[in-house]
């Protein structure tokens, strides 16, 4: 079962933007999202999308959306909704290979840029979150969805956080996820002939809905092989917005967004403080 095709996703985004542009004469999605609305007014499938500007490179795929940083050859962010049902797919990732994104007709990373032992090809939209559909899972291997990520971080603590997101999707029925790199000071430089930027760290913001209320949490982990406990690297979404400059979950009504994004309640997310 496909969540939505790339074409349909693009049509939804363009239609919503067009309506808002006519009414408010402002940038691509940004005004709509900063305005918020009642829960019933939130367009299906758009809750996870951060605020965007008119010149942003937006790539839509089956089940996830990328804001692409063409200069750095990595995404700004990747956003998707993950449901309980979607966490129960059983496709095998071994048949897929990393490749260039056919939806973006300009310079992007290539596989050989990652021929460096220190840095793995780190999925932002994890392949394991898309085992419900072969095409969707294959699209997570597009290099527009990939960042140079420390190998130990990729297979250990970042992987653990991704598993927790799937657990939350099962617990709450669905979650909305935004994840991506933080370039920071770019202390690791670039890799490959196309100068793919190596991020200083990574972030993840998660929104859930339970018993008539929204709840949010955010995380950052540095791009190294250190140990990252969830209670140590958890923060409010407001704190993450201050770090990244990204406006997360702006389709929430303003009063709800202000409250939800300022709270950090670890017990709600089954995270124990050590």
Distances in Å between the Cα of 46 and the Cα atoms of 36, 49, 115, 210 are 12, 5, 36, 18
**List of E strands, 72-212:** 74-83, 119-123, 146-150, 174-182, 190-191, 196-197, 201-210
For residues 57 and 34, is the Cβ–Cβ distance under 8 A? no
Q: Which helix (H) or strand (E) holds 67?
A: strand 64-69
Ramachandran bin of 37, using left for φ above 0, alpha for ψ from -120 to 50, beta for the remaining angles: left
Catalytic, out of 24, 61, 123, 215: 123
Residue 37 dihedral angles phi and psi, to the nearest 5°: 165, 180
Phi-psi region of 19 (alpha: psi -120 to 50; beta: other; left: phi over 0): alpha
CA dist 51 → 36, 58, 127, 251, 252 (Å): 11, 11, 25, 9, 11
Nearest-angstrom CA–CA distance, 183 and 30: 22
Active site residue 24: no
- Give me the residues paired with residue 179 across strands: 78, 204
Looking at the annotation, which residues are catalytic? 123
């Amino acid at each position: 079962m496909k969540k939505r095709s790339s074409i349909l996703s693009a049509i939804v985004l363009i239609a919503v933007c067009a309506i808002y542009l006519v009414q408010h004469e402002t940038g691509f999605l940004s005004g709509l999202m900063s305005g918020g609305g009642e829960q019933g007014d939130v367009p299906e499938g758009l809750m996870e999308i951060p605020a965007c500007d008119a010149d942003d490179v937006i790539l839509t795929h089956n089940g996830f959306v990328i804001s692409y940083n063409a200069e750095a050859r990595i995404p700004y962010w990747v956003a998707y909704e993950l449901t309980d049902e979607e966490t129960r797919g059983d496709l095998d990732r071994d048949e897929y290979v990393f490749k260039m994104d056919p939806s973006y007709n300009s310079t992007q990373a290539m596989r050989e840029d990652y021929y460096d032992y220190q840095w793995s090809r780190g999925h932002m939209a994890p392949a394991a979150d898309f085992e419900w559909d072969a095409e969707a899972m294959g699209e997570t291997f597009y290099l527009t969805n990939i960042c140079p990520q420390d190998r130990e971080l990729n297979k250990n603590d970042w992987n653990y956080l991704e598993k927790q997101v799937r657990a939350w999707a099962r617990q709450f029925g669905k979650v909305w996820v935004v994840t991506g790199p933080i370039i920071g000071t770019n202390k690791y430089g670039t890799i490959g002939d196309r100068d793919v930027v190596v991020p200083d760290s990574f972030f993840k913001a998660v929104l859930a809905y339970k018993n008539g209320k929204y709840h949010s949490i955010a995380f950052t982990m540095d791009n190294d092989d250190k140990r990252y406990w969830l209670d140590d690297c958890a923060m409010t979404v407001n704190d993450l917005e201050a770090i990244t400059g990204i406006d997360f979950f702006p389709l929430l009504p303003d009063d709800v967004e202000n409250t939800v994004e300022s709270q950090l309640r670890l017990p709600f997310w089954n995270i124990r403080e050590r």
